[in-house]
Amino acid sequence: MKVGLVYDPIYLEHNTGGHPENFQRLVTMMSHLEETGTKEKLTLLSPRCASIEEIELVHEPGYISHIKGVAEGGGGWLDMDTVMSRKSYEVSLYAAGGMLTAVEAVMKGELNSAFALVRPPGHHATHNRAMGFCIFNNVAIGAKFALANFNINRVLIADFDVHHGNGTQGTFYSDPNVLYFSTHEYPFYPGTGRAQETGSGEGAGFTVNFPMDAGWGDEEYLRAFNEVLAPVARRFQPELILVSVGFDPHWDDDLAMMNVTVTGFAQMVSVLKELATELCQGRLAFTLEGGYNLRVDATGLEAILDVLLGNPEIDDPLGKPLVTRKPGGFEEHIKKIKEIHHLE
């Protein structure tokens, strides 16, 4: 089982200061992979720089020029959440390029799966706007690139960051070639991702949102994956699965209010791996989005890679939530979502 890890120290040069999304996330994750011996089991890949034409698969030329100009001016705030430094434009090109490197390796059969350990993250970035720590939409660029450069017609994007990937959804909202599935805390930033948001025009039915109430955890997430994602994926028959990974649904992440465990992340990835094996020759590529508790990030990444490597034992040193009370209403909620997507 050949599993790739895309990484380069250039990702540390996106200098965000004391921002929650900072270089220490990747330093901690890479150190943990070395300490646990996981790194030596992986195929290490160096990212390439995405071309402007590849970035333009998703983003407007004027927006790309604006980001370049801000960097050349020394950096600055793009909105109240998203900051750039002098190197951030270049790093963002390599973040998108890291996802393209993962997609290429998987599509060419060089690897069974690959994880692009990149920053800045991407799933909030729209065609013309930076949002929520994101500059270029790495996973959306990866999907567009795969459709344009390989002989495939259908890509599934699964997103389990705690925040809804509004940029990814917007990119493909009217596109029948990309199925976007998202679990996310709702109502929460950025305010999108209602269950009734299902796509438009030719893309109607190809956006599947599973908004979550604060306090739900492993059981609810696994049911969403098994009872909604799995059947819609089988109906869609993807030829590649891309995944936006956020570790912020974890119960010990202070930026959200969910109760997922490290074991829960591993279980969700197990479902995705099984679907990839069944539906698309195992083609599976991941990219990092959120997650702001360093220990959760490190152990969560290790758990995901263990699943991809076929290791049966998952190490979850953080265990279960300290507070186990959770809201009810899940049965009615999942029933409604199944009805919306004609699963019952």
Identify which of 15, 131, 136 has the alpha carbon closest to the alpha carbon of residue 74.
Answer: 15
* Cβ contact 245:304 at 8 Å: yes
CA 170 vs CA 145, 193, 206: distances in Å: 17, 11, 12
State the catalytic residues: 124
First to last CA, the chain: 36
Q: What DSSP assignment string belongs to 101-157?
A: HHHHHHHTTS-SEEEE--SS--TT-BTTB-BTTBSS-HHHHHHHHHHHHSS---EEE
Q: Name the β-bridge partners of 327.
A: none
